[in-house]
Amino acid sequence: MPERLQKLLILDRDGTLNRSRDDYVASPDEWEALPGALEAVARLNQGGWHVVLATNQSGIGRGLFDMASLNAIHAKMHRQLAAVGGRVDAVFFCPHAPEDGCDCRKPAPGLFHQIAARFGIPLANLPAAGNAVRHVQAAAAAGCPAHLLLTGKSEHLRGRLGQGAEADLAVLAPELPPGTQVHDDLDAFADWLLAQEAAETPTLPVAQGATP
């Protein structure tokens, strides 16, 4: 039976949680968390959100590293998250090279469908945030609310784009799906999501004569 959660969101890994590298993150020593990213996950967890990752790891299919190395990288990630009070519930990854023609390599939406099936949550209720255009494209193709973070592969857009400025976004990054929301980084996305929730939570009236 799939595990059922009320609040789940999907994040990219490289360039979102940790610094991305042109030559792949192939060992634990090469995995370096972005400033504030792990703490942002902890704040989301404290707000009741469960976090999972959807990440392309074609270095496996290209023969650049193996599953033991990937597991060691994620063990380091989990330790550093735990040290700040954060948690990632699961990591969904595509190990295939581009020429393999799989349906799980983003921008294909296969990983997102796997996540929805595993946790039993409709895709429309799964916000997805990442720095790579292909992550946002995969999210939108799956029907998830898509959020672009101006870190990693999209850091060059920072300073050229206003928060949520869809008209500017359409010019600067026309390959992004319509309706993509923009945030400076994972910390800003966490701020936005938690503020949205707070705004939607009804305030209980104070009984007459009671102290507020």
Sorted by where each starts, the structural domains of the chain and their CATH numbers stand as 8-191 (3.40.50.1000)
Report the interhelical angle of 110-119 vs 133-142 (nearest 10°): 50
- List residues with catalytic annotation: 12, 14
Q: What is the pLDDT of residues 91-140, one digit of tens each?
A: 999 999 999 999 999 999 999 999 999 999 999 999 999 999 999 999 99
Q: Which pLDDT score is estimated for 204?
A: 47
158's tokens: 């920072």
Give the pLDDT score at 75.
98
Position 200 scores a pLDDT of 81
Question: Is pLDDT at 203 greater than 80 in this prediction?
Answer: no
pLDDT at 169: 67
Q: Is the pLDDT of residue 73 over 60?
A: yes
Give the pLDDT confidence score for residue 132 in this predicted structure. Answer: 93
Query: What's the whole-number mean pLDDT along residues 19-42?
Result: 96
Name the residue type at position 51: V
pTM beyond 0.85: the answer is: yes
Mean residue pLDDT of the chain comes to 89
- In angstroms, the CA 180 to CA 157 distance is 14
| pLDDT, tens digit (0-9, with 9 covering 90-100), for 41-69 | 999 999 999 999 999 999 999 999 999 99
Q: Say what the pLDDT of residue 2 is.
A: 43
Residue 109 has φ and ψ, to the nearest 5°, of -90, 15
- What percentage of residues in the chain have a pLDDT greater than 90? 76
The two tokens of residue 10 are 């999907």
Predicted pLDDT at 47: 96
Is the pLDDT higher at 174 or at 18?
A: 18
Between residues 162 and 87, which one has the greater pLDDT?
87
